Each structure stands twice: as structure tokens, then as C-alpha cells.
Amino acid sequence: MRIEIKGYGQVEAGEGLPAIAILKETDKDFAKKACVVLVNGQAKDVSVLPQEGDTLEFLTFDDEAGAHTFHHSTAHIMAQAIQHLFPETKFGIGPAIKDGFYYDVDSPHVFTEADLAAIEKEMTRIVKQNLPFRREELPRQEALALFGEKEEIYKVELINDLPEDAVISVYRQGDYLDLCAGPHLPSTAQVKAFKLMSLAGAYWRGSEKNKMLQRIYGVSFPSKEQLADHLYKLEEAKKRDHRKLGKELGLFAFRDEAPGFPFYLNNGMTLRNTLIEYWRQVHKKWDYLEIMTPQIMRRTLWETSGHWEHYKDNMYTTLIDGEDFAIKPMNCPGSILVYDLEPHSYRELPLRYSELGTVHRHELSGALHGMFRVRCFTQDDAHILLAKEQIKDEVMRITQLFDEVYSLFGLSYTIVLSTMPEDHIGTEADWEVATNALADAIASLGKQYTINPGDGAFYGPKLDFHIEDSLGRTWQCGTIQLDYQLPGRFNLDFINSKGEKECPVMIHRVVFGSIERFIGVITEHFAGAFPLWLAPVQVKITTITDRQNEYAHQVAKKLEEAGIRVEVDDRNEKIGYKLRAAQAEKVPYMLVLGDKEQEAQGAALRKRREGDLGFMTLDDIIRRLQEEIASKCND
């Protein structure tokens, strides 16, 4: 029979051969890595028997679906090990999650960290046995009898909740049987490296009305090197946690008196203002007009915009003179009101309004997370009013601005195109035009994107820019949202080249996403060791003895006059202690002042990563620092 293997084209295969056997005849090495196969787009075990004319696409751990299958198979291996060691255990669910898996279990044994090592040892034995994962499909009553006999009450409950005509599938590996839709790896031997990470409690099916089960989390990889790299990144992530560094470096704080509302400290304000100063420079260069709109506006405005219907549960409201007002959760309606102040011609378009607009959103307390998820934040917003024929060029222009900003911080990115959600406003025809316009613009720049179906804003499709930090983690920051709806709802218009009134299109756009979130991202990206131009304290002046104290403050004044942020450490401590303190504070440069340096009117210069750079005159030091600040390099 003839089938197609994606990447290899049409191949001849014998009938009755499993997909993995056909792949081995085509590419033996790739077959060793295959985790799952898409048969005409449907994920299946690689042992599936293809039919004439099928299209096969084999996925490895490097693919999302492949990694999901890998992790889910490891969950079954862990469950089998638990069954061997603690046979009275009953099993709930064991899904794959991002970067790993977990299993919820009901056991008379209370698991501890010490048990994890024993379970890992048994898992290693199971892996070495090279047990195949075998799929079976059973009649409903037979499946109920099978799991009922084993007193697997949670599996029985799951089966009973399935539709009457549902296919009941189970997977076996050795002496272990599990209710599962699959797919799974060919065998246990493919799981070369794993580690059980933590324990937690979890209510069965997420309801506090049900029994609390024990949840065991783990990670797994095709190689020990990948596991080691993952564990290293986890440790690094703990060290880089922006909440920890924010406290240590005096950037920001959170208080119980204002949950979800950050307090900026002096160093944090310096960092914030430096980012904003750079943002203003970039936006002036790219021809944006900065505006500021009110924090509180009438309910009728939010009803017209659609936010009251779609977002009111997340809005803070108040009564003024007996009338409903809302604290703005978005900046876009304010920009629309600014546009509507006067008539416009096609010659003015695109009209680009930028706004550092502070917004308030009622996030659930459980969702709050440092600077990444707060209730009050400043969006580096822009709203661009333009004609439909200008969309492609403008989206390309915005993306080039994004390139400029993200490359400065050493951040790469991927692009996701989010399409029409169920609760959209506007016609499907408008949505199709808008979605195609975004896709065409990105393709014209030679950039790749993936599609996230149904995740667009209620008023239009969007391009989300997921930036990647130094640990390979991704963060959604920038976005370009194309809006055919709001300008029409507010009856906006401009006079086109034919002298006729025409409704503009609006682009909603942020680069940082929010100042708060971006500060959190770059704090972890740089591990708090900000480049010189961003560092709240750029130079720490340290004295060897009290004799240099007066000179130290003279040096500090000269540096400050040159536009350099500086602090003096003239405490009665040893110089080694002071230098270690400056290193811990992640200050980019240190000036060491002793009698010789004072006499020569200079300083011994030290750099955070390079160490001692030797003696330099103050003029040379200032010149060096000013050049590095101006270059905005990340060293």
C-alpha cells in the first residue's frame, strides 16, 4: 500500500505493518526518537496500523505533542512503581503538564520526600525492562468489571461519567493497567531520565467536596543531559525570582494592606523611570504622539466600548453624583475620545497615540504573582487609527519597532496569531479580513508564527509576541491587536481621498506589555545584574580608610554632574567587605579609593564581572562610563 510520511513523501509499505516499522524502513535513526504519530492529523500510538492513503507525521520530544506523550507515559511508569511499592494505593488521574507530569493517588501511606527516591529506583527497574505500552479497547461493562475487581473506585467513576457510546481504552505495561485515552510511547525504555520533584495535596476532580488525594509531581526527558539542564534552570530560576531580587535590591515591595498593588522603592523607581525614558525616546523616533487620558470615566463609555458587557467583573466601579463610573481597565476608549475631539483627514493617517496609562483590574487573589500579575499596572499603550489599506505596512512597522526594543535587552521572541473567540463582536467576514491582514504582514517580514485558535480579543484578532529570556523561558509581553469594531461603535470617521467619510481601523499595541511585568521579566533575565544604562546604582565608591571619605564625596559629585548614578560606601569596614557588598547589590562598577588614588586624583576601577581594571583618572572613568551608558550594551 502507499502512504505519505511527512518529510519523506510517498512510500510503499506492506499491509499490516505498524507505523513505527514503516518509519524504521525509511529512517532508522529518526524512528528511535519518535514518540507519537499523527495519522491524518489525529495523535495515535506509533504502533497503529496505517491504511492505504493515510498521511503520517511522526513527532519527537522536541514537538509539543511528542513531549506530552513522553511525559504522560512517564506518569504511567511512576504509577506502576507506586503500585509495586504501595499495593493498597488507588489511582486518580495522571496527566502530562508543561515540563512534566503528576499523578493523584489515594493511599493509606502518607508519602514523604524520602519515598520519592524509592519510587524513582523502582521506575528505573521498570524502564530497563523495556515494557511495551499496549492499547486495548473494551466494552463498557467489561471495563467497569475490570477496574471494579481491582477496587479502583476513581477509574470506575471516570468510566461511569463517559458517554454510553464512548470507546473505553486501557493501556498495559507489564503488570500495570490504566484507564487512558492515550497515546503512549512504544515502550518504557524510551524514558531515559526522570526525577520526582515534589508532593502536594489535591481534591479529587478539583472539588473541595471530594476527598483530598496525594499528588506527586515529576519531570522526564529522553537524556540525562536534558534532565541536568532542566534542573540547572530550575535552580537558576529560584535564584532569579524577581520577588526575591526585588526585595534584596530595593526595587519594589508588596504589603498585605494593598494585595496586588506594588510599592516602588527608590531603586525600583530609578529602574522604572529609566525604562520610561527609553520608551519615550523610541516612540518619538517612530512618530507617536504621547497623550494621557482620565483614570475614571462614565459607565456609558464602557457600555459603548463593550467592556461593560465583556469585562465588568474585572472592573473597579464607583458612584459619582449618583452615577456609575469605572476606573479604567483599558486605555483604548480614552484614545478614541481624543481622536474624536476634532475632524480628521486621510492625510493625517496613520495617527499614532502613545500612552503610559495606569489601569486597574480585579484579578483573583490566587492569580496574583509578584510583578507578573498585579491589580494595578501601567501599560505602555499605543492606539493607532488608520485606513484599511495601511494595515499591512503599519503592522510591519510596529514589528520593526518591537525588533529594536527586544534586541536591546537581548530578548528573542516567537509570534502567535490568536483568532476569533466565541464571545466576539462584529461579523465573521470582518474577522476574516482582519486575521488575514495580520498574517500577511508578518509573512511579508519573513517571520514565522503559530496559530492559537479562539484566543483573540473580543473585538479583533491579535499577534502576541512571546519573548524568550536567558533561561529559555517565554513571557507574553508585546501584542498587536487589530480592531474593526470599536471605531464603528464610537462612530469615528475621517475624510478619505474621495472626500467621503470613512470609518478608520484601530490597532491596539504594547511593547513591554506593562511596565510592571517587563520589570519582572528583565529582573529575572539579567538575574538582577542590570546593564550599566539600566542599573539603579551604576557606580559604588568604596573607601579604604576614613582619610578618603571627603575625597569620595567629591568624586561622587563629579560623577553625578556627568549624569552617572552613584553611591558612596564610607562605612568603617574593611575594603573586602565593602566590595563583596557591592557585588551582592549587583552594582556594575566599583571605584576603590586609597591614599595613592586620592593623591593621583583618580581611582582603582573594578567591573562587576571582570574584576580589577587598574588605576584610571576620573576623566577617563567618566568618559568610559558615559560611552557605555550611551551604547546601552548588555555587558
Catalytic residues: 332, 361, 379, 381, 383, 462, 508
Place of cell 507525521: 57
What span, in angstroms and rounded, lies between the C-alpha atoms of 184 and 24? Answer: 18
**Quick check: helix, strand or coil at residue 423?**
coil
What span, in angstroms and rounded, lies between the C-alpha atoms of 457 and 464? Answer: 11
What span, in angstroms and rounded, lies between the C-alpha atoms of 46 and 41? Answer: 13
H/E stretch holding 462: strand 462-468
Q: What single letter denotes the amino acid at residue 210?
A: N
Query: Contact, 262 vs 371, CB < 8 A?
Result: yes
Distances (CA, A) of 456 to 420, 435, 504: 5, 10, 20
Q: What single letter denotes the amino acid at residue 387?
A: A
Q: Compute the Cα dihedral for 348, 354, 360, 363 and give only its sign.
A: positive
What span, in angstroms and rounded, lies between the C-alpha atoms of 312 and 163? Answer: 36
What span, in angstroms and rounded, lies between the C-alpha atoms of 613 and 606? Answer: 5
Q: What single letter denotes the amino acid at residue 192?
A: K
Residue 621: other Cβ atoms inside 10 A = 23
* Residues 6+ away with beta carbon under 8 Å from 420: 428, 431, 435, 454, 456, 461
H/E stretch holding 245: helix 242-248
C-alpha cell, 591: 571605584
How many residues are listed for the chain in this entry?
635
Helices (H), 320-445: 332-339, 391-408, 428-444
DSSP one-letter string for 20-84:
HHHHHHH-HHHHHH--EEEETTEEE-TT----TT-EEEEE-TTSHHHHHHHHHHHHHHHHHHHHH
**Quick check: helix, strand or coil at residue 185?**
coil
Query: Contact, 59 vs 52, CB < 8 A?
Result: no
Torsion (CA) 390, 394, 396, 398 in degrees, nearest 10: -170
Which of 44, 48, 40, 103 is CA-nearest to residue 69? Answer: 44
Angle (CA) 461-470-269 rounded to 5° is 80
What b-and-e string marks burial along 490-517, b requiring 16 or more CB atoms within 10 Å of the CB? Answer: bebbbeeeeeeebbbbbbbbbbbbbbbb
Which of 38, 366, 202 is CA-nearest to residue 19? Answer: 38
Q: Are strands 55-59 and 36-39 parallel, antiparallel or unpaired?
A: antiparallel
